[in-house]
Structure 1
Amino acid sequence: MIGAPVFIDRISKAYGSQTAVSDVTLDIPAGEFLSILGPSGSGKTTLLTMIAGFESPSAGRLVIGGRDVTAVSPDRRNIGMVFQRYALFPHLTVAENIAFPLKMRGIGKDLRAERVKRALDLVQLPDYARRYPHELSGGQQQRVAVARAIVFEPPVLLMDEPLGALDKKLRESMQIEIKQLQQRLGATVIYVTHDQEEALTMSDRIAVMAKGKIAQLGSPADIYRNPQTAFVADFIGKMNFLRGEFLGETAGSQAIKLDENVVFHTPSAVSGYDGAARIGGRVRLALRPERLGLAARGAGGKNALPGRIETSVFAGSFDLHLVRADFGSHDILQVQTPADGMQAPFVKGTLVDVVAEQDGLRLFADVEA
C-alpha cells in the first residue's frame, strides 16, 4: 500500500449566501498523516466531504496522485473512508463487511479471502471473521471499519471523527493503533477531529481551521509552541490570557502594562508579536499553564505576576492551582506544577508570585480576541 499526494487548490464551498470553506489550499505529501482540526462549524467536515467527492466545490480543484478528480464521482476516486458511525452492515459477518468493497470491485473470491485475512491481522482481529457487528465492542467495531477501509489498498484514507464514540481510555489506545497502522501501510491519511489532544498525538502536521479558512498549518510541536493567532493559541491546549497596553520595544524586550502597578516584559524573539502596533495599542499576553511556576509573594523577581491562591487540586501528573491576579481585571490564572509530593498544598488566600518561563510566552494584538 503506497500513499498518494493530495493537492487541494484554492477550494471553496458556499451554500447560498453562507460560505462553509473559503479559498483553502493544502499540499499533502504522499504518506503524511494530516489532521484537520477545528471547532464545530469551522468547515473541516465540509472540506473532507469535498475530498471524498460527496460535495462539489463552488470553486477550486482537487488533485490526488497527480490526477485531477474535482469532477470525478466518489466511487472512482479510490479513497478509503472511516466515519464516527462505523456504518457496518448488521446482517453481514465481520469478514463479509470487510470483503464488501472488494466484491464491489469485482475481486475474485480467493483473493478476497486472502485480503480480508490480511486486513484482520493488521487490525489485530484475526479470530473475529465469523462474528457479527452486534457481538463486538465499540473498539472492535472501529477496527473492522478501519479494516474495511484499507482492504482494497487505497492510497488515501479519509477519517471523520472516527474515535468520537469511544470512551477516553479506548480512544487513546486506538489513536496509537491507527497511527502505527498508517506508518506500516504508508497510506496518506487526512483525519478530521475537534479533539486537540488527538490531533497532537497522531499527526505529522495539523491544519487548524476557523471560519472556513486555514488559521495555521504546521507540525504539532510548532502549532502548540508557536501559535500565530490568539484563536490558535486558545484552541490548542490550555492558555491563560491577560489584556494589556503595548508600551514599546527596547533592547529585544517588549513591555506590556497590565495595570498601573504591573508592567510585564516579554522577549521579542519569542513573543510572536511584530511590535508594529502603535504604542498604546491593546494586546493580549498568552501564557501556558505548564510554563508557569509559583513563588512566595515578593520572591518571584521583577517580572512576576502577583496573585492569591483560589484553590489547588491534585490532577494526577500535576497540581493545578487557580490564582486570582492582584492586578488589572483580576483574572483567574491556571498554573500547573509537577505533582512530586514535595510541596505542601497551598491554602486559599495565600499570596504568591506567578513566574513565567520566558520562552513560553506569546503576545497578540487584541483585535484577534
Structure 2
Amino acid sequence: MIGAPVFIDRIGKAYGSQTAVAEVTLDIPAGEFLSILGPSGSGKTTLLTMIAGFESPSAGRLVIGGRDVTAVSPDRRNIGMVFQRYALFPHLTVAENIAFPLKMRGICKNLRAERVDRTLDLVQLRDYARRYPHELSGGQQQRVAVARAIVFEPPVLLMDEPLGALDKKLRESMQLEIKQLQQRLGATVIYVTHDQEEALTMSDRIAVMAKGQLAQLGTPADIYHNPQSAFVADFIGKMNFLAGEFVGETAGNQTIRLGDDVIIDTPGAAPGFDGPARIGDRVRLALRPERLGLAMRGAGGKNALPGRIETSVFAGCFDLHLVRTDFGNGEIIQVQVPANGTGSPFAAGTLVDVIAERDCLRLFTDAEA
C-alpha cells in the first residue's frame, strides 16, 4: 500500500444558518498520520464525512492523490474507513468480513483469499479466520474492522473514534498497534478523536478544531509545548491559568503582576501571546503542572508563587499537589512532582512556593478566556 496526499482546500459546511465547518484548509502529505482533534461540536466528524464523501461541502474542494473528488461518490474515492461501531456482519466469519470489500470490487476468489491471508497476518488474527464477530473480544473486533478497511489497499484510511468503545488498557495497546501498522503500510491516515492523549501518542501532526475552525496545526510536541491560544492550551493536557496584569517589558521579558507583591517575568516571545500589550491590560498566565516544582515558603527564589498545600494525592509515577495561592482570587494550582517512593514532604496546610520553569510560561490575552 502506498499513501496518497490529501489536499483540503477551504472546505466548509453549513446547515442553513448554522456553520459546522468554516473553510478549513489542510495539506496532508502521503503517508502522514494526521489526527483531527477537538471537543464535541467542533466540526471534526463533519470534516471527516466530507472527505469520505458522505456529506457534500457547501464550499471548497477536496483533492486526493492529485484527483479532484469533491463531486465523486464515496464508493469511487477508494478510501478505507473504520468507525467506532465496527459494523461487522454478524453472519460472516472474520475472513468473510475482511473479504467483503474485495468481493464487492469483483476481485477473483483466489486473489481474494491471498489478500485476506496477508491482511490477517498484518493484524495478527490468522488463528481467528473462521470465528464469528460475537466470538471475538472488543479489541479483536476492532482489528477485523481495520483489516476490512485496508484489505483493498486504499491510499487513504479514515478513522472516526475507532477506539472509543474499548477500555483504557486495551485502547492504549491498540493505539500503538494501529500506528505500527500504518507505518508498515505507508498509508495516509486521517484520524478523528476527542481524546488528546490518543492524538499525542499516534499522530505525526494534529489539527485542533474549535467551533468549526482550525485552531492550530502542528506536531504533537509543538501543539503541547507551544499552544497558540488559550483554548488549545486548555484542551491539550492539563494547564493552570492565573489572571494577571501586564505591567511592562524589560530586556525582552514580559512582566506580569499576579498580586500586590507577586511579580513574574515571562519570555518576551512567549508563544500564544498576541501582543504587544499595553500597560494595564488583563492577561492570563498558563503553566503546565509537570513543569512546576515546590519548595518551602521563602526558598523558591525568583518567579516563586506563594501558596498553601490544600491536599496531596499519590498518582503512581507522580504526586499531585493542589496549592491554593496567596494572591489574586486564591486560585488552585496543580503541581505534579515525581514520586520518590518515600512519600511527599508537603502535607496539607504547608506553606510553599510554587516554582515555575521560565521557559514553560505561556501568556495569553484575557479576551481569550
TM-score normalized by structure 2? 0.99
Partner of 1:171: 171
Name segments (4+ residues, structure 1) moved above 6 Å.
Answer: none
Partner of 2:4: 4
The 2-side partners of 1:226 and 1:302 are apart by 23
* CA positional deviation for 1:346: 2.0
The 2-side partners of 1:133 and 1:144 are apart by 9
Partner of 1:335: 335
Q: Check the 8 A contact 1:62/1:69 in 2, yes or no.
A: yes
Partner of 2:360: 360
> Aligned AA for 2:321?
H
Partner of 1:99: 99
Matches within 5 A, 1:183-222: 183-222=183-222
The 1-side partners of 2:98 and 2:302 are apart by 64
Q: Check the 8 A contact 2:323/2:335 in 1, yes or no.
A: yes
Q: Could you list the per-position Cα deviations for residues 148-190 of structure 1 after superposition, in whole angstroms to 9, with x for gaps in the alignment?
A: 0000000000000000000000000000000000000000000
> Aligned AA for 1:252?
G
Partner of 1:319: 319
Q: Does residue 125 of structure 2 align to residue 129 of structure 1?
A: no
Q: Could you list the per-position Cα deviations for residues 12-70 of structure 1 after superposition, in whole angstroms to 9, with x for gaps in the alignment?
A: 00001100000100000000000000000000000000000000000000000000000
Q: Check the 8 A contact 2:274/2:364 in 1, yes or no.
A: no
Q: Provide structure 1 residue ranges, at least 5 long, that are not aligned to the other structure.
A: none
* CA positional deviation for 1:117: 0.6
Q: Could you list the per-position Cα deviations for residues 221-244 of structure 1 after superposition, in whole angstroms to 9, with x for gaps in the alignment?
A: 000000000000000000000011
Q: Check the 8 A contact 1:273/1:364 in 2, yes or no.
A: yes
Across the two proteins, how many residue pairs are aligned to each other? 369
* CA positional deviation for 1:345: 3.9
* CA positional deviation for 1:272: 3.9
TM-score normalized by structure 1? 0.99
Q: Check the 8 A contact 1:271/1:361 in 2, yes or no.
A: no
Q: Which moved more, 1:338-347 or 1:3-12?
A: 338-347
Q: Check the 8 A contact 2:318/2:339 in 1, yes or no.
A: yes
* CA positional deviation for 1:343: 5.3
> Aligned AA for 2:212?
G
Q: Which moved more, 1:254-263 or 1:81-90?
A: 254-263
* CA positional deviation for 1:274: 4.8
> Aligned AA for 1:51?
I
> Aligned AA for 1:339?
A
Q: Which moved more, 1:300-309 or 1:65-74?
A: 300-309
Q: Check the 8 A contact 2:205/2:220 in 1, yes or no.
A: yes
* CA positional deviation for 1:136: 0.2
> Aligned AA for 2:126?
P
SS in 1 for 2:127: coil
Partner of 2:306: 306
Q: Could you list the per-position Cα deviations for residues 256-300 of structure 1 after superposition, in whole angstroms to 9, with x for gaps in the alignment?
A: 111212111112134542531211111000000000000000000
* CA positional deviation for 1:342: 4.6
Q: Check the 8 A contact 2:259/2:328 in 1, yes or no.
A: yes
The 1-side partners of 2:280 and 2:100 are apart by 65
Q: Check the 8 A contact 1:312/1:345 in 2, yes or no.
A: no
The 2-side partners of 1:368 and 1:208 are apart by 16
The 1-side partners of 2:271 and 2:132 are apart by 55
* CA positional deviation for 1:200: 0.2
RMSD: 0.9
Q: Check the 8 A contact 2:3/2:156 in 1, yes or no.
A: yes
Q: Which moved more, 1:123-132 or 1:46-55?
A: 123-132
Partner of 1:243: 243
Partner of 1:148: 148
The 2-side partners of 1:77 and 1:89 are apart by 23
Q: Check the 8 A contact 1:248/1:275 in 2, yes or no.
A: no
> Aligned AA for 1:260?
D
Q: Check the 8 A contact 2:228/2:271 in 1, yes or no.
A: no
Matches within 5 A, 1:64-103: 64-103=64-103
Q: Check the 8 A contact 2:297/2:351 in 1, yes or no.
A: yes
> Aligned AA for 1:16?
G
Q: Which moved more, 1:24-33 or 1:297-306?
A: 297-306
Q: Could you list the per-position Cα deviations for residues 196-254 of structure 1 after superposition, in whole angstroms to 9, with x for gaps in the alignment?
A: 00000000000000000100000000000000000000000000000111112111111
SS in 1 for 2:118: helix
